[in-house]
């Protein structure tokens, strides 16, 4: 086998909703036991990646916030920590505060949740804090913002995208509920940059990494990795950029591809 590590997206790839299919858990534990490094590479915050890693039994660094953060769990340090520009953040917050939407904003040590009406806190993760309105300075500048709501997303695209295209990334993505959201990071924050940084610190050759994903923000990771696996339900551009296409996420496509790799040494 010519590969030494796997870099795996969560929503729409490893997860079905908030759950990991048992076949994916079994395959990744087998990959770990075979000596492969397994890096979670997600648009969500690092604690969510920790939860998934702990359920499987993984201890490798994680790529969080769509590449804005690379965190080494062994030392508790960030190898990469990119933030959104302050002027952009102010305008983004103005749109979110003026428009009905659900916005999650990952700042230094917590995730701000903006939506109309206070949610049931029992259904929120420990890292989340509900806010009736977003304000610059509350927790620091964001690593990533995710916005759901057609009017808010349209306003962000219309009012901000062209003016800030050299400074921010705005990607379509699929959230855990299956609904379209946009994810926003600083321009230098991509899963590709993050994978390079992780490989540099781990003394890994990116050409020996297989990336798994389903959405637009996974393409930069595909470009860096030696091979890429697109999920069966992924959009056409993601499939076209991949080395191979596996089954959909709700059919444990990750597990199927990993088991083939372990059995044959290839993805074919």
The pLDDT of residue 177: 67
The pLDDT of residue 229: 98
The pLDDT of residue 175: 65
| Beta strand spans in 12-167 (E) | 37-40, 62-64, 69-72, 77-81, 102-106, 111-114, 128-131, 144-148
Which tokens sit at 256? 């199927």
Asked whether 156 and 171 are in contact (CB, 8 A), the reply is no
The pLDDT of residue 176: 65
Dihedral class, residue 130 (left if φ above 0, else alpha if ψ from -120 to 50, else beta)? beta
What is the rounded radius of gyration, in angstroms, for the C-alpha atoms of the chain? 18
40 vs 64: CA distance, rounded Å: 8
Asked whether 189 and 144 are in contact (CB, 8 A), the reply is yes
Q: Which residues of the chain have pLDDT under 70?
A: 1, 174-178
Q: Which residue has the tokens 């297989």?
A: 210
Asked whether 145 and 183 are in contact (CB, 8 A), the reply is yes
The pLDDT of residue 142: 97
The pLDDT of residue 234: 95
The pLDDT of residue 180: 79
């Amino acid at each position: 086998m010519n590969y030494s590590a796997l870099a795996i997206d969560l929503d729409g790839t490893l997860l079905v909703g908030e759950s990991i299919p048992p076949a994916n858990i079994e395959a990744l534990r087998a990959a770990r036991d075979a000596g492969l490094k397994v890096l979670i590479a997600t648009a969500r915050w690092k604690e969510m990646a920790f939860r998934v890693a702990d359920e499987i039994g993984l201890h490798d660094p994680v790529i969080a916030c769509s590449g804005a953060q690379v965190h080494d769990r062994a030392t508790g340090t960030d190898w990469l920590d990119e933030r959104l520009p302050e002027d952009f953040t102010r305008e983004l917050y103005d749109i979110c505060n003026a428009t009905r939407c659900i916005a999650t904003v990952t700042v230094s040590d917590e995730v701000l949740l903006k939506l109309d009406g206070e949610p049931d806190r029992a259904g929120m993760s420990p890292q989340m804090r509900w806010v009736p309105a977003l304000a610059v300075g509350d927790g620091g500048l964001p690593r990533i913002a995710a916005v759901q709501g057609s009017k808010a997303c349209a306003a962000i695209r219309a009012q901000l995208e062209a003016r800030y295209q050299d400074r921010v990334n705005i990607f379509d993505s699929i959230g855990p509920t299956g609904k379209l959201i946009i994810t926003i990071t600083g321009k230098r924050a991509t899963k590709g940059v993050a994978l390079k940084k992780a490989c540099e610190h781990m003394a890994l050759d990116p050409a020996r990494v297989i990336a798994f994903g389903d959405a637009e923000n996974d393409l930069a990771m595909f470009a860096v990795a030696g091979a890429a696996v697109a999920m069966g339900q992924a959009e056409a551009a993601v499939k076209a950029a991949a080395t191979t296409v596996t089954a959909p996420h709700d059919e444990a496509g990750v597990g199927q591809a990993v088991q083939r790799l372990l059995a044959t040494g290839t993805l074919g």
